[in-house]
Structure formats: structure tokens, C-alpha cells
Homo-oligomer: A and B are copies of this chain.
Amino acid sequence: MAGPGQHSTSQPSLRERKQARTRQALIEAAVELFERQGYDETTVAEIAAAAEIGTRTFFGYFAGKEDILFPDSDARSRATIAAIADRDPAEGPVDVLLRALDTIAESDADMVSPMAAVRMRLFHTVPAVRGKALQVQLAAQREIARELHKAFPGELDQVTAAALAGALTGAVSGALDVLLGEQGAEHADPAQLQAQVRQATERALRPWRQAAGE
């Protein structure tokens, strides 16, 4: 093997601390460079050099150039799954998902990170980044579908659970696509943004509230 692998749940060793620092340095260097020169104009070699590691080593930390824009890519699905986990017995599937959506919007520090802005701009301009982002979304959607089916075995079979998960992520990303795609998205008020997403999603999923069980 070539690259570092994540480790135990115990105290971080010197090695792990160093790797974490290197990883962070890579991310910051990349964001900085992407912002200044653009994505295609920045080479992996430059990023590695800026983080003071060998070019070859970069690929030990990230599988590809795009991947550096999606560290902790499964944060969203983890949050959703957590929301599903501690659900109220009275809640229906759609209620749980909408609550998860609220939870994410509140606790998601990623919406305001400097990287998020860069990522969003590159999403609209660089096909490779768009492709990667959509793959991350699909992975999350699949994970959600699986947990959803596990949490509501009687109510949702696998296909229906997948449909619901797809409907949720599709609705949210669709709304965000419009809200953030328009110019001036960077100066938007997060709270108002969330309200709009919430409202649009709720309307799109409304039929599921009653019809969830077949």
C-alpha cells in the first residue's frame, strides 16, 4: 500500500497527527489555489508542493484531484442516519426526513466554510467536480434508503424506501440548485435559504405524508 489509512478510536499518535496536519494542509492549499488560478489551471503537483509533500504522495491522501473538494463526504448521510436513529415512535418516514433536513441545515458548518463557496462555483463550471458531487449525493441517497428501510420495515419496502430517499435528495438538491445557482448566492441569508428549501421540499413530498404506506 502507498497511502495512509485511518486508524483507531484511541488517542491520536504522532503519526496520525502528522497525517491529519498534512491532509488539512493539502485541503487548504488546494482551495487557495483553485480560488486564485481556477481548477483546471491548478495542477496536482502545485497543490502537493504548496503542502510541502511529494506529488506522488498526494494520491495517498486523495484518490483524485476532485476528491480534495469532498473530504468527509458522508457527513450528510451520517447526520441523516442519526436523525433516523433517534426518531419518535409516532413519526412517519417523511417527518423523520424533514427533521433530519432541519438538523443538517442548523449544524452544518460546511455551508459557510470557504471551501463550500469554491466547491459550489466549481460545480457549475467544472464537469469533473459536478460529476464527483453527484456521485457523493447518490452514495448518500443509497445509504439513506437503506436506513430508511431498516427503520420502517413494515411500512417501506426497499424499492419504496429508495424512491422516498431519491425524492428527498432530489427535491432538496433541485431547490438548492435554483437558489444557489442564481448569481449572488454567496451573500444570501442562510436562514431564509433554509426556509425556502424546507418549504419547497415539503410541498414536493407532501403526497408522501398520507400515501407512505400503500
Contact = CB atoms under 8 A, between A and B. Distances in A.
A205 B167 contact: yes
Interface in A19-48: none
Nearest to A175: B163
A160 B204 contact: yes
A201 to B, nearest CB: 6
Interface in A161-187: 162-175, 177-179
A175 B159 contact: yes
A206 B175 CA distance: 18
A197 B157 CA distance: 12
A53 interface: no
A193 B145 CA distance: 19
Q: How many copies does the complex hold?
A: 2
Contacts of A205: 167
A131 interface: yes
A173 B142 CA distance: 11
Given A167-B167, A205-B167, A159 B178 contact: yes
Interface of A: 94, 127-128, 130-132, 134-135, 137-138, 141-142, 145, 158-160, 162-175, 177-179, 196-197, 199-201, 203-208, 210-212, 214
Given A159-B196, A162-B200, A207-B207, 6 more contacts: A159-B204, A162-B178, A163-B203, A164-B203, A166-B175, A210-B211
